Amino acid sequence: MSARLFPLKVEECPLLPTEVRSTLVERFNLVADLLEFCRQIGGTPEPEKVERSGLELARLHSEMAREKYLVGFLGPFQAGKSRTFNSVLRTTAREQPAGVGQGFPTTAVVTRLRRSQDGKNTARLVFLTSRGYEAKRRFLLRRCGFDPDCKDDRKVLDEIHQALAAWDRSVRTWQDAAGNQQPVKRRDMEYLALMLNSYRVFKEYVAEQPTVQEVPFEERGQYLNHPPDPWHQQKPSLSPLLSHVELQFVTSVIPPTLEMVDLPGYDAHCSIDAFVTDEFLQTLQAAFIFCRATDFSAAVEMIVAKLKKLFGMDLDGRVWLVITRCDDINIYPEVKIENQQGSVFEQLGRFMDRLGLPRHQVLFVTNEPRELANRLRDPGFSSALEDALRQAESSWPNLREAWSALQEEGGVTQLRTLITDALPQRIGRAVTRRAEQTLSHLGRDLFNFARMLQEERLSADLPAELARWRNLLRKLALSIVDVDQIFTLSKDIHGTLMAAWERLEVSSDILDYVSRTEGNRGLREEFLSHADPLDRFLRERTVNEWLDKVYEIVLVPLRHHENTEGSLRIPGICEEGVVAYLERCREQDRELATWNDCIPSYSGNHPFEDLPNQSEPIFTGETYLDVFDRKHRVLARQISLALALHVHRRLIKLLEELTEYFRRLRERSDVGRDSALPEKWKKLEAVFTSW
């Protein structure tokens, strides 16, 4: 059972746009009240719909009441994200919060950076919980080809050392979810050994609740970064046991409401980096995905797919692609990336389209602005660059502006401005859109569910006679639109239509003669001479034969019920009983006017309409007969479905009238009132019926 939600307060949602904050909070609390009402009348165990809605509302509560927005720096390893992370903060080499790689994976732990409130740089280690450690351990055991349920760390360590010693002489595999054998990565084996040894020495840090420890800021590198090679031969350390590291950093660059998160890279030679990042993704409100200008990596497509699961398709203003190493970009037209045609900008534009990201959500960055300046002084490069920009900007209006931003700190100025100024507003609007959509559909669904629960409670107190009739009518309403029932009726109608068609004695030889001598004009006359009598026959049989057959499907069991159990006679609704009520409905339905828009016809979709008389004949005799054969089948299906749905609506209307009648009786105390029905329901009903 999901926990009870406490009401939101306007002051608890500082990051929502001020113009909608109070309205959203009010709506949230109304839906929370409705959820609580559903719990009260739903009883125990909690209905699945209520439980699911409670979890969804709890997630929305957390998102609306955030004090900080988390913005992730994601991407393949060595894409320059950690270095750009440091550049945004204008740090010195000594104070850089994030470790910078030198051709191998560097970032090992999620780094959460916040603006310091006390003028000091501090670092806090947040350790994995017991559950988090076990999930990480099981993941690595599976990826290293071990049984994930294995509890013997010493046995695993012995096998790891044996496997690493013979690494070049044998291939170790693990089985993926599809049953395919995949090669084990050496670094995964090394990391697993390091983690198991570290747990043996420092297991007291892993507990049911997260353990937190402050360490000197200057020592952060030994916790944030991967150790030197080979990993399995390093001393046990705290780093593999960490969930994340929180840095309080003295800076005026980022607002106090924003938190920057540097995440381990994807597609490195160590699966654990992707695992750590994936575990943290769901906490993000926005993301910058880093991609090398020389390689539009498939890892980027995978990251965007993961973010779409998190944010839905609403990526506007929340997910940005940062193209790094622009000093290294190969602008010449003969160069192809991933065998694509066109300039690098045209290839990038298509890449953005494939990702489902708007092209205006791309930034260009270089951490070597001097190198880029040197290249721009090369006339050949400048000319090729201008050609590439001109070719692509017709489908990418702000491309030139985005590229020009490289002139200021290698594009970092634009990135910093986006992070500090525009991004909080964009995230706020995105959260608002999500909240409005979620509250709207949750409110509607819970209201309908609450009304159904109320009707069930009312029905439980009504006389047994009514309960039996309601159940019978519901079963019949379902049976009348059953696929097998409709198919049987359709088959019967089709047989009747075929008999009527055969009586017209239509011959393919005669039709061929008409086609040759009179062309389409003659075929049109033949068509009308056949369609008109069939349409008259169809309308007459619909109201005088097939309508009766459909009604009898429900009337036969209802007559039996009345004969054995007695009639249900309700003033103003079914005063003579349910059977008499439906027989009266059937007589009303015999009026052809009732079916004017419902009964299909042979003359509908006229194949000769607007066809020039002089054109080549469109049918031979055989194809003409095929047209009518298809019409027989289609019309039989359409008529059977129309009749079944019509009688189904009659039954539903009767059920609604019975429910409303007893509700009115209850309000007048003519039927026992449910004293437990909260007065709040009436207020909620008044609100949500207007949504």
Domain boundary assignment for the chain: 325-400, 464-670
- Residue appearing with tokens 């995978």: 302
Tokens of residue 442, six digits: 């949750």
289: three-class secondary structure by DSSP: strand
Least confident of 141-150, 190-199, 290-299, 326-335: 326-335
pLDDT band at 582 (very low <50, low <70, confident <90, very high): very high
CA neighbor of 217 nearest in space, from 95, 119, 109: 95
User: pLDDT tens for residues 26-38?
Assistant: 999 989 988 888 8
CA neighbor of 260 nearest in space, from 246, 276, 241: 246
How far are the Cα atoms of 42, 63, 102 from residue 58, in angstroms, in the given order? 19, 9, 43
In this prediction, residue 248 carries a pLDDT of: 92
Residue 475 and residue 455: Cα distance in Å, rounded?
A: 17
Q: Which residue has the higher pLDDT, 331 or 239?
A: 239
Q: Which residue has the higher pLDDT, 608 or 492?
A: 492
In order, the DSSP letters of 104-124 are S--B-SEEEEEE-SSS--EEE
User: pLDDT tens for residues 548-567?
Assistant: 999 999 999 999 988 988 88
Q: Where are the beta strands (DSSP E) in 186-344?
A: 212-215, 242-249, 258-262, 286-292, 319-324
Task: Name the DSSP class of 93.
Answer: T
pLDDT band at 162 (very low <50, low <70, confident <90, very high): very high
Residue 35 and residue 453: Cα distance in Å, rounded?
A: 12
Residue 363 and residue 415: Cα distance in Å, rounded?
A: 7
Residue environment code for 447-467, b if the CB has 16+ CB neighbours within 10 A, otherwise e? bebbeebbeeebeeebeeebe
CA neighbor of 348 nearest in space, from 375, 323, 381: 323
Mean residue pLDDT across the chain:
84
Least confident of 174-178, 328-332, 458-462, 631-635: 458-462
Residue 340 and residue 344: Cα distance in Å, rounded?
A: 9
- For residue 261, the cross-strand partners are 72, 112
Share of the chain above pLDDT 70, in %: 87
- Mean pLDDT (whole number) for 630-640: 90
- Mean pLDDT (whole number) for 291-303: 80
User: pLDDT tens for residues 603-621?
Assistant: 876 666 666 666 677 778 8
- Residue appearing with tokens 């079944």: 644
Task: Kindly tell me if the per-residue pLDDT of 43 is higher than 70.
Answer: no
In this prediction, residue 615 carries a pLDDT of: 65
- Residue appearing with tokens 């609390």: 29
- The answer to whether 236 and 46 have CB atoms below 8 angstroms apart is no
- Mean pLDDT (whole number) for 643-671: 77
Q: How is the chain split among helix, strand and coil, in percent rounded to 5?
A: 60, 10, 30
- Mean pLDDT (whole number) for 517-534: 86
- Mean pLDDT (whole number) for 459-463: 54
